[in-house]
Every structure is written in C-alpha cells, then in structure tokens.
Structure 1
Amino acid sequence: MYRHRHSARKTWGIARLQKESKGKLAEAQLLRRAMNSIENEIPLRLVEFTEQELDILSPFSLASLKPLLVVSNRAGKGVSDETAAGELVTRHGGAFLGIDSGFELELCDFPEEERGEFLESMGFTESGKTRVLSAAYSLLDLISFLTMGKDEVRAWPVKNGSTALEAAGTIHSDLARGFIRAQVIPFDLFRTTPDEAELRKTGSMGLHGKEYVIQDGDILEIKFSV
C-alpha cells in the first residue's frame, strides 16, 4: 500500500514538473519570437499574439507593444509637411494627428458657447484637444459612460464591450457585489430631453440586467443592495 502511494505521488510530481517545464519553454519561445521581431525592427504592435501570449508579455512592459499616438504641432504649417512623418508612424502601427497649438490657444480665448461657431468658420468640426482625446480612446478601445449626482456629473472610461456589471465595479466594488439592475438613459435621448422626470414619465429610461453592454455616452444609475 505504501509503495503504491509513493509511486502515485512520484508520478504526480513528475507530471507537474513536466507541465511547468512546458509552460516555461512556451514562455521562452514567445520571448524569443518577440526579441526576433524587435531585432528586425518590427514593432510588436504589428505582430499577432493570442490573448494568452499577451498576458505573458504584459509584465515586461514592452514599449513597441503599447499603442502609439504621435501628435504633431503644425504651428501654421500645411498638412503636406506632415506627410512623411505620418507615413512613418502608420508603418509602425501608430496613429498620427496634426494640431496647431497657436490656434488652440486662440480658441481658448473665446467663450465656450462661441467656440463651436468659431471652429466652423475656420473649417473645423471639433477642437484639437477633442481630436487627441478621441484618437487616444480609439487606440485604447475605450468608451465612456456617465453618472449624474446632485453635485457632480462624471465620465467613467471603460473598455468597449464592457457590461453593466463591469461598469458598476468601475464606480465601486460594492455596486458590483450588490448589483440589482442598471437604469440607462442613452446620451442622445438625454440631449433632446434633458429632464429625468419627463423621461421617467414617458418610460424612456431603460432598466437592464448585469449583461447589458454599455454604449458610449450612456447615463447610468446603478441599483444595488449590500
């Protein structure tokens, strides 16, 4: 009986060591593959990795694996001056954006309610700051949902595709732990009818469970109990 138990324990130990060795070998091969790409001047953001491989590489904080956004200050120069730089950034898997810092400073001198009209008169639909934020959100695959209180309106960034439960956890872990449902107002709806009482009266507010996928700009109120 003792011999049988000892043999079984030994077999289990060998199997565990073999599994660990295979894991370390796979990690070493992945790191070698990443190093070869870097040595050949291929940014890792252009290399296809599985989610599991990305989890292995994540602790190493490899710079060329991170999203790349290059912002150029035009300073009154034409877009043609940025063509070569933009093409280089694109070849490296990044996003390129040109803004005029002088124009942005001039824009700040206008009252907020007049900035849209000024931008339109200059041929722009949005400010450079907004374009930079939009580009960064796009690269990071982020969206924002909103919460409204008596004293504060706040935007919360979450990964695109996040659920109501994950959004609740972003605000506070207690909200996720005691999640009951999410009251949701689409931003476009609130922009046309900025009156919660009216929206509640017309039944325009949506009540959703924890699997509801958050849409960009959703206004959330989490119902919970702990």
Structure 2
Amino acid sequence: MEPIRISYFSDVLCVWAYIAQIRLDELNTNFQDKIAIDYHFVSVFGNAREKLENRWRDQGGFKGYSDHVHDVVQKFNHITVHPDIWTDMIPPSSMSCHLFLHAIQLLEIKGIVPKSEKMFEKATWTCRERFFKDLADISDRTVQFEIAEALGLPIAAIQAQIDSGEAYAQLSKDFDLVKEHTVSVSPTLIFNEGRQRLNGNVGYRVIEANIRELLNNPSDEQSWC
C-alpha cells in the first residue's frame, strides 16, 4: 500500500510550528512507512518586521507580540523561548532561511547527503530552536552556515544549490502550492490530494484520527460518513 502523503506547510519563525514539531515526530514514530510528509514553506513572516509593526501597533508593538508568544508557550511544557523573543532581535524575514533549508533538501534529493540521516528535518528544527531559544538571527546567512557546520553539512554544496538557482526554484514551487491550496496559516497539513486540511494549533489526536480514517478508507473505496 502506498503511504499517505501529507503536505506540511510552515514558517520557521512561527511559534505554532515550533510547538507542533513534537506532533510531527510522534506521527513519524507511530506511522513510519504508512505516511510520507512533504515539507513546504508558507511565508507568514516573509516581511516580519513590517508585519508585526502594523498588526501589533495598537497592542504594544513588538513587546506586545513578545508577550503574546510567551503566553502561548506557557501552555506547553515541551518547549521554551528566550525572554527577549521578538524584542532584542527581530529577524527581517523567514525567506532567507527557507531558501537555505531548501538547499539542504536538494542535497538529500541529489544524494549528496543520505536521506536516512534526515538532515533537512534536523536543520529545520535547529533553525527554529536557535531562534526561539537562543535568539539567533536565522535570517542571516552566517548564522545559517554555522548551523550547517554544526550538523556536519557541506557548506560549499549548500551554497552551490543557492547560486545555481535550484533552491530558489524549490521556494517558488512552495509559493505556487500555497496559492493552489490557499494556505495562509502556519502550520497547515493537507491530506487526500487537497480534500482534507488541518490549520494551526491542532492536537495530535485530531491529526492521528485523520490519518487513520484515510488508512481505513482508501481513496478508491466509498465511505458512508
């Protein structure tokens, strides 16, 4: 049986995607070869500073948004955030990091790094963690290459994927998929060729129930419900 394909859209600077990582890990552990997650990026924080300035101007600005993030995180005991998140250091954009991560993804596609090592997933998580816990400016290429070096990834090969335009093509593909599926929330999970979706802070059991329904009711079978 072919694995169920799940399209997962997120932004590396999104606190809800940071929170949701544990749910993806649980899915991969529990379903293993029964599911295949296709990772894509949605540019919620593509223009982070201006977006937050405009949306939080009447709610305390960057400090107001920082307080909001802290309030959100207090409800979860599996993650932490830096006390000065979104105040002392504000990345201008998530897009640079998304491009960097797609370059790593290409290394896996091309076999330059083994897919079995899941370096794309590790790098994505490390970028999130470095921002939320350490307040690192993950939009900065120097910081990105520091992350790559710490993971043992070939920096020259990553830069080559960016210089060739191939990483940009992957990012452009994400833009097209975001438009096609009208994705506006991070994270968003899309199942069943676009017929099912879960947006935002969705609990693990809800995600699991959707997967089990698809496993028990293949697409070529009729379901009464």
TM-score normalised according to structure 1 size: 0.23
- Answer 1 or 2: which has greater strand percent: 1
Structure label with greater radius of gyration: 1
TM-score normalised according to structure 2 size: 0.23
